[in-house]
Structure 1
Amino acid sequence: MRYDNIIWDFDGTLFDTYPPMCRDLQSVMAALGVLLPLEDLLAHFTRSRGEVLDYCAAQAGMDAEAVDRVYRDWVTQHGQPKALPFPHAEEMLRRFQAAGGRNFVFTHRSGSVHDYLAGAGLTGYFQDVVSAGTRFERKPSPAGNLYLLSTHGLDPARTLAVGDRELDMLAAKGAGVDGCRFTPEGEAEEESCARWHIRSFAELAEILELPEEEAR
């Protein structure tokens, strides 16, 4: 294989969480008297959570932290949005693990990442799951990636970071590992420091040079 280890982003990479999160945010903003198109929320969210909060705050005449507090209260009352892994995500994880590869996660999401993974039966595919927050700086800081490299003795030259945003690619570059940009809905931004760009996990399997899976 070309790589022995993958450090995965979670939201927008392993799980298709942006649409349900944006639908919840749309409901939150509607309750504040601000009607926003879902496609506008998604366009901002796919670049960064901070950007969509700034956008919502500007439309509502609030500050971003206030919008974030209202949104978090909504999630506390209604629960995390229901979301599923992207098509063929489990197959990708299984094939890579079966070929001797190791999977890791570095995400901005807090403890709910474990609930999503467990609910989809994916927990066993991961060696470690690291969340940004009080322990690590958020991306584009490479802090979480560097922690995984050091803690698990990963060879940077044999490690790939997969994520859907440019900040994931910057975090990969900062840790000295190759980045792979996953954009299932369309083109990546023109300027990117990613080494690879994929729109499906089938393309990732080719990059990894994975052996074909035996019939099950």
Structure 2
Amino acid sequence: MRYDSIIWDFDGTLFDTYPAMCRDLRRTMEGLGFSFTEAELLERFTVSRGAVLAYCAERTGMTAEEVDRVYRAWVTEHGQPTAYPFPGVPDFLARFQAAGGRNFVFTHRSGSVHDYLAGAGLTAYFTEVTSAGTAFARKPDPAGNLYLMETHGLDPRRTLAVGDRELDILAGKRAGADTCLFSAAPGETAADYVITDLSELYALVGLEE
């Protein structure tokens, strides 16, 4: 295979979580008397969490920190939204692992990432899952990627970082890995590869679909 290690992003890459996140943020804002559409929130979510929080703050007169706090409180009260892997994810993870590849996750999501993976029966396909937060700076800082590469002895030339946002790409490149942007509507990007469907990864990494 061309690559024997993949560092995955989670939200918007492995799991289709953005629609539910936008729905819940819209409901949070409605509870405060502010109206947003899920489409306008999604447009910012696909840039970064910070971008959507800043947009809501600008529209409401709140700070981004205040928006984040009330949103997190809403999720704590109502629970994490239901979300599922993108089509083809379980099969690819299993095939890549069976061929000798190792899967990793570096995500901005906290401990709930483990609940989602376990709920979908995918935990065993990952060598390590790590999150930004107190231990690592948020992307595009490469700290989390570098940690995984150094801890597990990953060869940057045979490591692919896959994500749906440019900050994922920049974090991967700054760690020395090749990068792949997964996006249905890709724009200008620094990624080495761009795919619009995860099935394209088979040929990219050197696996037969």
- 1:99 touches 1:211 (CA, 8 Å); kept in 2? no
Give the corresponding residue for 2:187.
Answer: 189
Give the corresponding residue for 2:141.
Answer: 141
Please state whether the residue corresponding to 1:105 is helix, strand or coil.
Answer: strand
1:29 pairs with 2:29: yes
- 1:47 touches 1:165 (CA, 8 Å); kept in 2? yes
- 1:8 touches 1:103 (CA, 8 Å); kept in 2? yes
Please state whether the residue corresponding to 1:130 is helix, strand or coil.
Answer: strand
Instruction: Report the count of equivalent residues.
Output: 209
Q: What is the CA–CA distance in structure 1 between the aligned matches of 2:26 and 2:87, rounded to whole Å?
A: 25
Residue 187 of structure 1 deviates from its aligned partner by 2.2
Aligned-partner residue type, residue 54 of structure 1 = A
1:207 pairs with 2:169: no
Give the corresponding residue for 1:40.
Answer: 40
Q: What is the CA–CA distance in structure 1 between the aligned matches of 2:129 and 2:24, rounded to whole Å?
A: 25
1:110 pairs with 2:107: no
Give the corresponding residue for 1:101.
Answer: 101
- 1:4 touches 1:100 (CA, 8 Å); kept in 2? yes
Aligned-partner residue type, residue 66 of structure 1 = E
Name structure 1 gaps, 5 residues minimum: none
Aligned-partner residue type, residue 187 of structure 2 = E
Aligned-partner residue type, residue 197 of structure 1 = V
Offset from partner CA, 1:154-196 (integer Å, 9 cap, x none):
100000000000000000110000010001xx32122x11000
Give the corresponding residue for 2:52.
Answer: 52
Q: What is the CA–CA distance in structure 2 between the aligned matches of 1:7 and 1:78, rounded to whole Å?
A: 31
Please state whether the residue corresponding to 1:187 is helix, strand or coil.
Answer: coil
Per the normalisation by structure 1, the TM-score is 0.95
Give the corresponding residue for 2:150.
Answer: 150
Name structure 2 gaps, 5 residues minimum: none
Give the corresponding residue for 1:92.
Answer: 92
- 1:140 touches 1:168 (CA, 8 Å); kept in 2? yes
- 1:8 touches 1:106 (CA, 8 Å); kept in 2? yes
Per the normalisation by structure 2, the TM-score is 0.98
Q: What is the CA–CA distance in structure 1 between the aligned matches of 2:37 and 2:134, rounded to whole Å?
A: 33
RMSD: 0.7
Q: What is the CA–CA distance in structure 1 between the aligned matches of 2:205 and 2:159, rounded to whole Å?
A: 11
Residue 19 of structure 1 deviates from its aligned partner by 0.3
Q: Which runs of 4+ in 1 moved over 2 A?
A: none
Q: What is the CA–CA distance in structure 2 between the aligned matches of 1:211 and 1:97, rounded to whole Å?
A: 13
Give the corresponding residue for 1:127.
Answer: 127
Aligned-partner residue type, residue 108 of structure 1 = H
State percent identity of aligned pairs.
67
